[in-house]
Amino acid sequence: MIYTAIVFLPILASLYAGFFGRFSDAKVSEYLTSGVMVLVALLSWVVLLGSGFEGESLNTKVNILTWIEITGFKANWIIRVDTLTAVMFVVVNTVSSLVHIYSIGYMHNDPHRVRFFAYLSFFTFAMLTLITADNFLQMFFGWEGVGVASYLLIGFWYKKQSAGAAAMKAFIVNRVGDFGFALGIFGVLYVFGSIDFDTVFAAAPDMVGNSFNFLGYDLDVLTTLSILLFIGAMGKSAQFLLHTWLPDAMEGPTPVSALIHAATMVTAGVFLVARCSPLFELAPNALAFVTFIGATTAFFAATVGLVQNDIKRVIAYSTASQLGYMFVALGVGAYQAAIFHLFTHAFFKALLFLGAGSVIHAMSDEQDMRKMGGIASKIPRTYIMMLVGTLALTGFPLTAGYFSKDAIIEAAYVSHNFFSTYAFVAVVVAALMTSFYSWRLIFMTFHGKSRASKDVLSHVHESPLVMLTPLYILAAGALLAGILFSIYFIGDGQQVFWASSIFTSENNHILHDIHGVPALVKYSPFIMMVLGFVLAWYFYIKQPQIPVMLAKQFNGMYKFLLNKWYFDEMYDFLFVRGAQKLGTFLSVKVDKGVIDRFGPDGLASLVLRVTARVSKFQSGLLYHYAFVMLIGVAIMLTYFILWGAR
């Protein structure tokens, strides 16, 4: 009963707000959806703390209904709850409930806030159906539901052209990844004859070493299936090449950014790979590919975050970079460390996004950090919360990020994965850049001489308690989640905690090996954190003219990073303009030049003209028809008289 309530209460609240909320005061929908999410979040903690630490005991399935049943195929809707699901319950519902509460204050002046809360709850429901799926089709339903919800929320202010474009971009880019995911599901059904997780995972060892021929190449079955599934994760979790939608998602209201980046959509890909660990663990080449993409994303996104000026975009690229860390952990076989970082990241990244929203709220909707500065004393509570989030993100000792991110760096070092060395270097360098751009954000936003206009500065004020309370709770998670849960996620108690919800082979000892890394490796994240802080302080507090001078001196590199490695421009040239040229050619040359010319404007037009004239003979008068018959008889007699004898 408790699992059913967790999954379906959000959609009931969403339906009420969406269909009936307009007929009552907006506060009814706000408090109803938020109250439901608080209840669901509390139930999620009950599930995790009450059963999640007993390992095998948390392995429950609740059969809701027979969803699809046709000849040779059956898919039930089943709520699957194990430790991995319980952890995701806590992440999704805790952050979602706090975002709901925060939105009461943030969206209080928006005339369409009832619709906004309906979308938030629908988003949460879609994510819950994804993480409780017992088969690939059910997961795909939640997967696409999250995509639809993200489209609605990113484009919530649809009259704003940039918001509509960002929503379309997110939807279209994710369709690319989803196509790979769908092919993977088709492949799983073809190879295993089933899409049920238990059936597929149990049969996976028998497929090791099996291959199939494609275009003259012998491809490993498990490697191919795993990579296709991972392509779906690349889109949903904004990994390198399919990352371009994530920064533009900032066009939605700030609470949406927190929900998408911290707890729901972008973590779906990480969850997918962790859930499918029985497949990936048997496909080392696929894991190598995951490692390469994750490491590249961690480095790439960090470089772009160095020069961004929009406060939300800095945090957005930080999200992409941290997701890269998670995929590095998945790629080297440290699935537990990946989920641990997902867990801790949810707290401090939601804290940073909601803190940024509090700053924007105080600065009269200003998001450019170049127009901020010197406001720490005016919004001290928001400032302290942002400091806590930054410390956790950069891996300050004993904060949440210190335990989870450091474990990933150590796992990359001890791994024997083909790309492990590359991944180790990439994530260590990314740690330096993470510290730099995080403290750059703090210094540019809160310290130094204010660069805001007098009018904006005169209206700077602290956010109301309804917006600050979620920050306090998230700050507690950012400080304590690592130290309280590390022993269960990646420590001595991890085998009992995770039980069978995550599969690792007998040869996978990576979580044991990370305890024996050299001291320099162990302290490298701390060294990078300190170095990044010192550089940011020197550049933006001590000598603020240096960044301007460097931008001018290395203008090409600065523009390269500022324009996000020109991926948008490249994709526009290759795909958008190419599609437009192809469409123009088909329209002008093929449609009008061939089809219309020989179709509607050619043969079809001739037939119409002929039939129009012939139809005039159909007068309906008997003597006209008799006259035509006589002419016909005369023609026939003439033929037989003149030529018939021959």
Closest C-alpha to 452, from 514, 535, 367: 367
Q: Specify whether the CB–CB gap between 403 and 487 falls below 8 A.
A: no
pLDDT value of position 640: 79
The whole-angstrom separation of Cα 30 and Cα 306 is 37
Residue 614: pLDDT over 70: yes
Classified as helix, coil or strand, 281 is: coil
Q: pLDDT digits over 198-245, tens only?
A: 999 999 999 988 888 888 788 899 999 999 999 999 999 889 988 888
Q: What percent of the chain has pLDDT over 70?
A: 97
**pLDDT at residue 601, as a whole number:** 67
Examine the pLDDT at 438 and tell me if it is beyond 70: yes
pLDDT value for 55: 54
pLDDT in tens, 587-597: 887 877 777 77
180 within 8 A of 228, measured Cβ to Cβ = yes
Q: If you average pLDDT over every residue of the chain, what do you get?
A: 89
* Position 406, amino acid: D
pLDDT value, residue 161? 85
pLDDT digits (tens, 9 = 90+) for 482-526: 999 999 999 888 887 888 889 988 888 898 889 889 999 999 999
Express each pLDDT in 65-84 by its tens digit. Answer: 888 888 878 889 999 999 99
User: Which pLDDT tens digit goes with each residue over 543-587?
Assistant: 989 998 999 999 999 999 999 899 988 888 888 888 888 888 888
Determine the pLDDT at residue 263.
Answer: 61
Q: What is the token pair recorded at 34? A: 């938020």
Looking at 337-351, 458-472, 526-540, 618-632, which range is the least confident one?
Answer: 618-632
- Whether 538 has a pLDDT exceeding 60, the answer reads yes
Strand, helix or coil at 220?
strand
CA pair distance 100, 37, nearest whole angstrom = 8
Predicted local distance difference test score (pLDDT) of residue 573:
86
Most confident region among 358-367, 411-420, 596-605 by mean pLDDT: 411-420
Q: What is the mean pLDDT of residues 104-111?
A: 86
Structure tokens at 516: 């024996």
Residues 6+ apart with CB under 8 A from 457: 375, 450
Q: Phi/psi at 196 (nearest 5 deg)? A: -70, 135
pLDDT for the residue 399: 93
User: pLDDT band at residue 56, thresholds of 50, 70 and 90?
Assistant: low
Write the secondary structure of 106-151 as one string of H (helix), E (strand) and C (coil): HCCCCCCHHHHHHHHHHHHHHHHHHHCCCEHHHHHHHHHHHHHHHH
**Angle 166-9-74 (CA atoms, 0-180°, nearest 5)?**
85
The per-residue pLDDT for 57 is: 65
At 593 the pLDDT is 75
Of the pLDDT bands very low, low, confident and very high (cuts 50, 70, 90), residue 53 is: low
**Residue written as token pair 């279209």:** 172
- Residues 286 and 227: beta-carbon distance below 8 Å: yes
Name the β-bridge partners of 196.
Answer: 135
Residue 21 is predicted with a pLDDT of: 86
Q: What is the pLDDT of residue 245?
A: 86
385 burial via Cβ count (<10 Å: 0-12, 13-18, 19+): buried
The pair of three-digit structure tokens given for residue 507, joined into one six-digit string: 């040869």
Q: Rounded to 5 degrees, what are φ and ψ at 500?
A: -95, 5
The mean pLDDT value for 109-122 works out to 90
Distance of CA 337 to the CA centre of its chain: 20
Residue 275's pLDDT is: 95
Mind listing the pLDDT tens digit for each residue in 143-190?
999 999 988 988 888 888 888 888 888 888 888 999 999 999 999 999
Q: Which of 230, 242, 123 is nearest to 173 (CA)?
A: 242
Angle formed by the axes of helices 545-553 and 555-562, nearest 10°: 100
- Give dist(CA 44, CA 9) in Å, integer: 12
Nearest to 6 by CA among 106, 123, 94, 128: 128
- pLDDT bin (cut points 50, 70, 90) of residue 645 is low
* pLDDT at residue 108, rounded to an integer: 84
The predicted model gives 119-123 an average pLDDT of 93
pLDDT at 392 over 60: yes
Query: In the predicted model, what is the mean pLDDT of residues 614-624?
Result: 73
pLDDT of residue 644: 63
Torsion of the alpha carbons at 384, 385, 389 and 391, rounded to the nearest 10 = 20
Give the pLDDT score at 50: 80
* Contact between residue 541 and residue 533 where contact means Cβ atoms under 8 Å apart: no
pLDDT in tens, 152-164: 988 888 888 888 8
At 283, the pLDDT band (50, 70, 90 cuts) reads very high
- Tokens 């699957």 label which residue? 80
- With helix as H, strand as E and coil as C, how does 56-107 read? HHCEEEEEEEEEEEECCEEEEEEEEEEHHHHHHHHHHHHHHHHHHHHHHHHC
What whole-number percentage of the chain has pLDDT above 90?
56
Q: How do 73-82 and 59-70 pair as beta strands?
A: antiparallel
CA angle, residues 152, 155, 158, in degrees to nearest 5: 115
* Residue-by-residue DSSP string for 540-604: III-THHHHHHHHHTHHHHHHHHTGGGHHHHHIIIIIHHHHHHHHHIIIIIIIIIIIHHIIIIIH
